[in-house]
Amino acid sequence: MQLIPIPAFSDNYIWALHDGQRALVVDPGESEGVARWLEQRGLRLDTILITHHHADHTGGVAQLREATGARVIGPAYEPMPEPLQRVGADESVEALGLRFEVMEVPGHTAGHIAYYTPAMDGAPLLFCGDTLFSGGCGRLFEGTPAQMLDSLTRLAALPADTRVCCTHEYTLSNLKFALAVEPGNTELAAYNARCEAQRAQNFPTLPSSIGLEKQINPFLRTGEAAVVRSAQAHAPGTPFDAVSVFATLREWKNVFR
């Protein structure tokens, strides 16, 4: 099984899995790049997984479904390009011989879901859309800070070696913010240097891992003393509880340059 990020737009990745014959893609915001990738490798598109309703994640679904007959699976409670199989929490889907557990992770959107498989070529794999990014998290367009923090906390509880396949190459901008929050985090500084080297060669910084994100991502570290101090320095009066610290961090990131 091969895991491939197909670049799309300015900073999207359409994640793909294939076994040499059949392929699965996640959040195809456009169809042309996926169709070209399939043709070049002689692959048949079997399944399309969707995490949420934003156009840069769904814009290519209808064309790909029409052209290939692929089945489409998406969140139970969001507007979707019909027809599709809708899934929610505690359900699972089978694709390419893998079983993906569905996790409801609201925050970025109200009905956002993620797909987790405990073993793909020896390690867990997570397709998390725009909920968790390397070094960051999605904006709160439809959910609350409490919802997003709960979603991130459940993702952070996955095994440390879980590969994190998010849908945007936001890593360097996220790490710039993370370093402003935790300038003394040596693991974060080292990771930033590695990612700068990767991007200088136009290589993806992804996938990340849950274990790494717990060390460098401020949105997963709202209980760390240094993160709490930075949030309170930015917004004096921020309470010590994790939801308040998270809300301050997210509002700060929204305006950070």
Which residues are tagged catalytic? 52, 54, 56-57, 108, 130, 168
Angle, CA of 35, 38 and 40, to the nearest 5°: 105
> And the tokens for 22?
């059949």
**What burial class does residue 234 get, using C-beta atoms within 10 Å of its C-beta: 0-12 exposed, 13-18 middle, 19+ buried?**
middle
Strands 136-137, 132-133: parallel, antiparallel or unpaired by DSSP? antiparallel
Name which of 177, 171, 180, 169 is nearest 226 in CA terms: 180
Cβ-proximal residues to 79 (8 Å cutoff; 6+ apart), any chain: 53
